[in-house]
Structure formats: C-alpha cells, structure tokens
Amino acid sequence: MASIFGHGIVGFTITKVVDNKNLKWLLLAAIFSTILPDFDVVTFKLGIVYQHPLGHRGFTHSILFAILWAILLMLTLGRKHKFIWFFVIFLSTLSHGIFDAMTSGGKGVGFFIPFNNDRYFFQFRDILVSPLGIENFISSRGLAVLSSEFKYIAAPCLIILITLNLKKKYNEHTKRTKRSR
C-alpha cells in the first residue's frame, strides 16, 4: 500500500481541484476517504486471508465500495452540494486502490469485487509498498517509501496545487484590472 501520507495528499488535492470554497468538512472527509480502505487490515486479526473478497485490498478497495461510501457521505453530509460531495468522495476513495495497484508489493487490488474476485496491478509499479506499523516506518525502508511517494504522488499533487493557485491569482488580477478601467 502507499502510506497514509501519500493517500492523504491525494484527497486534499482532489478537493482543491473540484471545489475549494467553504467545504472544510468535505476536505476532511476526502482525506479520511483516501485512508479508509486500509481499515481492512483488521481482517488479518479476524483470520480472513488476504485473497478473500473481504481480505486486505479486497472489497474496501473496490469501485463498488467507493460508490457506496460516496453515496453515504453525499446523503448524510453533502446537503447542498450533493454532486460535489459524491464526486470528491468517490474519487478520493477510489484513488486508494489505484495507488495500491501501482505499488511494488502485495497481491493485487480487487477493483471489481463482489462481481469478480480477481486482483489486479497496473504495469507501472514503481511506488514502494509501505511497511505496516509506525515502528517499521521509521527506518531506511520508510524513508525510501516516502521518497518514492514524493516522486510519484506528492510532487504531481504539488504541481497541480501550485498551478491552481497561480490560476486563481491570475484570475483575481484580471478582475481587478478590468474593474479599474
């Protein structure tokens, strides 16, 4: 899996791309939604094997789960901005499986569970798989994971965020210039 940091910045970026006005709860929900699929690690403690549809990288990493979770949050929290809530939460939740399918470890992602239990990886698998547990993360392996995630996740997100900020400043400048004429 990508780390909590890699997943979290994606939820932040998606929210800012779609709408960055007055939706602070959406931002928090999006970041949480990028991390939520990994709550399935509890299945290891329950004796559920990895390859089981409810195992790690199974149903909670599926497209159907992302749709159901987005609908739930849209209906309970979205109120006036239902489409925006659905879109941001769906993309944020789905992004988790997408990035996990780009990692160097694991046994694939069950994108189509419960309709098809096969697990998938993308051909691009250069994101180093994150170690489980904070004690394993504070190591040279953890630093290598963070470096990998910065290169393939954080840097592209930062480029998007900087571009959005520059566009916003340009638009504000253009409006001020037009008003002063």
pLDDT confidence of residue 105: 87
Render pLDDT for 131-169 as a digit per residue (tens, 0 to 9).
776 666 677 888 888 899 999 999 999 999 999 999 989
3 state SS of 127: strand
d(CA 52, CA 172): 52
93's tokens: 């939740």
Confidence (pTM): 0.90
Residues 6+ positions from 26 with CB-CB distance below 8 Å = 15, 19, 77, 81, 84, 85, 88, 89
> Which carries the bigger pLDDT value, residue 140 or residue 35?
35
Strand, helix or coil at 36?
A: helix
Q: Please state, in angstroms and rounded to a whole number, the distance separating the CA atoms of residues 11 and 126.
A: 21
Domain count, the chain: 1
**Residue ranges making up the domain that contains 137:** 4-179
Over range 31-60, report the average pLDDT. Answer: 94
What one-letter code names the amino acid at 165?
Answer: N
In the predicted structure, residue 93 carries a pLDDT above the cut 90: yes
